[in-house]
Structures are given as structure tokens and as C-alpha cells.
Structure 1
């Protein structure tokens, strides 16, 4: 953590200012595995709070959130928990890939981020945002920038006056190899400015 922060505040005056204003950013963490990926699928396009409520309903109804239990649950059961038809398909696609061993989540900690991305992107419903967050929160990959994240994009617009994602990716090159920590600074600023809690 310390080398990443020192690098960013030395190489970018915006991060120097954020550090002076807030100190160290909040560092989210989640365990590796199926349950975290299920939560990330549920969080797509909705608030973390509503996704968490949905997950807890699934857990209460099924007893546990495992590939086997997700596959055995009917669409009606999951819909009653708040899972959309589309996300029902996504959860079952993930569960199927784990059960048939086409996806070995336990091997990810030994692989490079690009290898993990190439495997996860094959699963229906898992896109780059979901992969980015899993790499950051669960695998502690140090150089991830989730450019598909609305809060990241809006904060870069605010702090740098950039509108195009190509320009954002270009300026983010000077944050390498610590773009994950840069993202945590951006999220921290975004949430504090909006008086929102850190719920990851």
C-alpha cells in the first residue's frame, strides 16, 4: 500500500491533493470464490445495497450460496429473491462452469490478470467491470483501472476535465503500475463528496 500511495502522490498532483484532503483511501477486500462473483453479478447496474439485500434473500431461501444450490433453484425461486431473469441466467452459467470444471477459481491466485480475464470473460454475464472488481478486491491485482465504472469515470471528469475514455486511459498511464490504488483514491473522493458510505 505505502509504495503505491507514495508513487501516486509523487507523480500526480491530483493524488497529492487527495491524499492531503483524505489521507489513505478506503481499501475494499472480498474473499476469492463463487460467492463473491455471485455478489458482483447481482451488483451489475444496481446499487450495492439492493444487491446485498437480494443476496441475503437467496442465502436465506437456499441455505447456502453454492454452485449446486444455485443450479438446483428454480427461476421462480430466484425471482422471488429479487433476481432478474437475465441475472438468473448469469448465476446459473457461472455455477455450471464451476461444476463442470471449465472454470477453476482456486487457480486464479497463481495466474496473471490477463489470464484470469480471458477465462472469466467466457462466462455469460461476466464482463470487464465484474472482472476488474474481482481482480482488485479478491486477487489484489495492483494495476487495474475499471474504466467501465461510472464513479471512476465521473471522478476523472471532475478532477481532470476529461470527457473521452481514451483520454482517461491515456492519463492513467502515469499511474501505472498502481492503477488499483489510484482507483481507490477516486472512489474515496466520489463517495465522500456525495456523503455516501463505503459499502463494498
Structure 2
């Protein structure tokens, strides 16, 4: 694989998808059928990290609902405010 630059933008993302598809026939089939996946750009920071983790654990709708509850309970959502939330608040 070629060395990609440190900046992930649409061009480097597309290059990476092409290079991976060249090495993996299954991925190549998926990319050919459905196209390359989108590059989602998120605001850097703790709230985005929490949101991404939630999205990986539950459905997107559930992740949004859970994130909105967290954000309401600890606005602004920071590591320090998150750590101060009680178990009761986190289980809601």
C-alpha cells in the first residue's frame, strides 16, 4: 500500500478505499456494487468520541437518543462532567 498523507480528506479517503479494494476481492465487490462508503466528518472533541462509541454499540436512533440525554445531563459534555454523572443518570 502506498503511504498516505497524514490528512484524511475525501481524496486520501478515496485513495485508501481504492488501495484496499485492490487487495481484498470481497471489499472490491462491495465497492463496485454500492460505491465507496461516505467520509463522515465530525467535529473533533469528546462529544464526538462519545457519539461515535454509542453509534457502534446500538442502533443509530438509540445512539442519538442516548447522546441527547447525556448531553442534556452534562452540558457541555466534557470528560470531567461525564465522570461526575451518577450511575442513576447514566442508566436513564
Q: Closer, same or farther in 2 for the Cα pair 1:12/1:61, shift >3 Å?
A: closer
RMSD between superposed Cα atoms in Å: 2.7
CA deviation after TM superposition for structure 1 residue 44, in Å: 5.7
Counterpart pick for 1:3 among 15, 29, 33: 15
For residue 36 of structure 2, what is the aligned residue in structure 1? 24
Shift of 1:65: 0.8
1-side partners of 2:39 and 2:50: how far apart? 21
Give, in whole Å, the separation in 1 of the partners of 2:34 and 2:41. Answer: 19
Structure 2: 5+ residue stretches without partners:
1-12
Which deviations, in whole Å up to 9, do the C-alpha atoms of 1:39-90 show, x marking residues without a partner?
A: 34444642232122011012223332112322333332333xx3xxxxxxxx
Q: 1:39: which partner in 2?
A: 51
- Equivalenced residues, count: 80
Show the counterpart of 1:73. Answer: 85
Tell me the equivalent position of 2:25: 13
Determine helix, strand or coil for the equivalent of 1:5.
helix
1:51 to 46, 54, 63: 63
Please identify runs of 4+ aligned residues in structure 1 that moved more than 6 A: none
TM-score (norm 2): 0.57
Does the CA contact (< 8 Å) of 2:14 and 2:36 recur in 1?
A: no
